[in-house]
Amino acid sequence: MSLGRIGFWVAIAALTVAFVGPLLWMLSTSLKTNPDATRQPPSWIPHPFTTSGYQPLTNLTSQTPVVRWFLNSILAATGNAALIVVTASLAAYALARLDFPGKKFFFGLIVGTLFIPAFLFLVPNYLIVSKLGWLDSLWALILPSAGGAFGVFFLRQVFLSLPRELEEAALLDGANQFQIFWRVVVPLARPALATLIVLSFLTNWNDFLWPVYVLFSPSRFTLPAGLSILQGAYTTNYPVIMAGAVVASVPVIVLFIAAQRHVVESVARSGLKG
């Protein structure tokens, strides 16, 4: 092997260690006892091996139902992504293909808000959600972030770039606009829609600040908010905290491996379209 090739493989190996190592450590710690986890020098193999770190999490009447949190995260992210894709595609279609008074105005208004950073809406949205009675509910996780302009903006650009012939043909066949949208445009734009779904899902999944402040019952937490509470409740009991992290990670990693190609392609595409 040439020097360059060796160098390449060394780099790859080093990176892999840097990325996989911490995750293995996380797993290993979750299988230790508390004193074992804090002793010096630390060891990679648990002595003794125990699953007691998982007890507080898997107990059905648990204060820290990590599995429940995982489900809440899934529900919120899926609901949010679905809502975004549906409302944004409809709106983008109108802005890209239909004519109506106020079109320029609406588009300008929507795009204008793209420059407004999200934290500006934090406190007022908190109050609005509170008034709607949605604090501590799934609604608070799904709806507020679906008002963002990115999806509309992104899809409008995609729709504008689609060839019009198919739509015109459908119009000739007597389709109304919704049918054109649904039967012609949506299938053509499927990769872009998939991208938007994936990005929205990931963004909602990773959302931390909002769920931390908006949710309070342990059974309603999403994973990030719940893990934060776990950390507060168990402070230095690292086996439990790492066990929580493991339970939060394993399903995600499994899902990711299954959908890897789509996810990676979606992310890649978002950069090219932007």
Partner 1 sequence: MSVESSAERAAAAGETLQGFQPPEGQGRSGVHGRVARHGALTPYLFLAPFLVLFCVFIVAPAIYGIWISLHDYDFLLPHKPWVGLSNYTELFTPGGRDATDFWRAMKATGIFTVFSVPLLLVVPLLVALLLNRSFPGRTFFRAVFFTPYVLGVAVVGLLWRYLLDPNIGLVNSYLDQLGVHRNIPWTTDLPWAWISLVGMTVWWTLGFNAIIYLAGLQDISPELYEAAEVDGAGKWQQFLHVTLPGLRPVLLFVLTVTILASANMFGQAFLVTKGAPGNATRTAIMLIAETGMRSFRMGVAAAMSYVLAIFLLLISLLNFRFFRMRDTS
Partner 2 sequence: MPDLDRSLFLSRRHFLALTGGAGAAALLAACGGTSGPPTAQAPSGGNGGTKYTGPNVSVAFWNGFTGGDQAYIKKMVDDFNKATPNVKVTMNVYQWADFFQKVPAAVASGNGPDVGAMHVDDIPTNAARNIIVPIDDVAAALKLSESDFSPIVWQGGVYKGKRYGIPLDTHPLGMYYNKAVLQKAGLDPDKPPQTGDDYLAALEQLKGKGIQGHWMSPFPFTGTFQFESLLWQFGGDLFDKDVTKATFDSDAGVQAMTWLRNLVTKGYSPANVGQDADYIALKNGKNAFNWNGIWQINDLASIKTLQWGVAPIPKVGTQNAVWANSHQFVIMRQNQPDQNKQEAARYFINWISQRSLEWAKSGKIPARKSVLESAEFKALAPEAQFAKQIDYVHFPPQAPGIGDALAMVDQALNNAILGKADPAKALSAAAGQATKIVQDNQKKYGS
Within 16-55, the residues that bind partner 2 by CB under 8 A are 35, 38-40
Distances 272 to 46, 143, 158, 178, 251 between C-alpha atoms, Å: 46, 28, 12, 29, 29
Q: How far is the CB of 56 from partner 2 (least distance, A)?
A: 9
Q: Which is nearer to partner 2, 117 or 232 (CB)?
A: 232
Q: Applying CB under 8 A, which of residues 41, 48, 131, 172 lies at the interface with partner 2?
A: 131
* End-to-end Cα separation, the chain, in angstroms: 40
- Binding partner of residue 235 among partner 1, partner 2, none, CB cut-off 5 to 8 Å per kind: partner 2
Given the complex with partner 1, which of 22 and 187 has the nearer CB atom?
22
Q: Is 100 in the site for partner 2 (CB under 8 A)?
A: no
Q: Give the DSSP H/E element, type plus range, for residue 91.
A: helix 66-97
Quick one: which segment of 18-26, 107-115, 195-203, 252-260 binds partner 2 (CB under 8 A)? Answer: 107-115
Q: Is 111 in the site for partner 2 (CB under 8 A)?
A: yes
Q: Is the dihedral of CA 120, 226, 29, 26 positive or negative?
A: negative
Residue 122 in the binding site for partner 2 (CB under 8 A):
no
Mark the segment that binds partner 2 (CB under 8 A) among 75-83, 174-182, 189-197, 212-220. Answer: 212-220
- List 54, 70, 107, 205, residue binding partner 2 (CB under 8 A): 107
Long-range (24+ apart) CB contacts under 8 A made by 261-268 are 262/194, 262/198, 263/198, 263/202, 265/191, 265/195, 266/194, 266/195, 266/197, 266/198, 266/199, 267/195, 267/198, 267/199
Torsion of CA 100, 106, 107, 110, to 10 degrees: -160
Give min distance, CB of 130 to partner 2, in A.
5
**Residue count (the chain):** 274
Of 6 and 109, which has the nearer Cβ to partner 1? 109
Q: Is there a contact between 243 and 251 (Cβ–Cβ < 8 Å)?
A: no
202 binds, among partner 2, partner 1, none (CB under 5 to 8 A by kind): partner 1
For residues 117 and 149, give the distance between their C-alpha atoms in angstroms, rounded to a whole number: 11
Give the per-residue contact string, 133-172, with partner 2 (x = CB under 8 A; - = no): x-xx--------------------x---------------
Q: How many CA atoms lie within 13 A of 38 on its CB side?
A: 9
* Cβ proximity to partner 1, 60 vs 261, nearer residue: 261
Q: Would you give the binding string for partner 2 spanning residues 229-248, x where CB under 8 A is met?
A: x--xxxxx------------
Side-chain-side CA neighbours of 217 within 13 Å: the count stands at 9
Please say which residue, 41 or 174, places its beta carbon nearer to partner 2.
Answer: 41
Contacting positions for partner 2 (CB under 8 A): 35, 38-40, 63, 102, 104-105, 107-109, 111-112, 114, 127-128, 130-131, 133, 135-136, 157, 213, 216-218, 228-229, 232-236, 274
